[in-house]
Amino acid sequence: MALEIDTHAPDFELPNQFGEHIRLSEFRGKKPVVLVFFPLAFTGVCTGELCALRDNLELFQQNGVELIGISVDSKASLRAFAEQEGYDFTLLADFWPHGGVSKEYGVFVEEKGFATRATFVIDTEGVIRARFINAPGEPRDIAEYRTALKLVTPARVG
């Protein structure tokens, strides 16, 4: 069961595509965070979704929001994926323990071995203010992000 709105987001530390370790709590008190769990790098729907985020990155940047993608892929795979597609945002490897963070957030699909398409919008205090979870094969829409960002940056999102 996925974490609910108005609950504290569990802290975690994972390596990014460059091997640097990123902690969710590093952003607390500084900026909101959008966690985008996706099944696998280099797959059709995931590539399309992340390309849509890449093409709308200004929406997050102009509102001071940290955009972070998370999958069970290795950091090396995520680096190659980011370089190939021109992603200029953080991708985290939930590789080992396999899907550990995805499991904590209640979005790991055991029978598939990866996370479902789930997004958590977290405010500066570490509280989940919005979430959306899509069925397999169903991409998330940028409009959902735009709406959710208003909950954590009400004065800026237009």
DSSP 154: T
Report DSSP state, residue 124: T
- Catalytic option among 46, 65, 70, 128: 46
Q: Are 113 and 99 in contact (CB under 8 A)?
A: yes
Active site residue 46: yes
Judge whether 152 and 32 are in contact, CB under 8 Å.
yes
3-state SS assignment for residue 22: strand
Longest dimension (CA), the chain: 42
CA 10 to chain centre: 14
Q: Catalytic amino acids?
A: 46
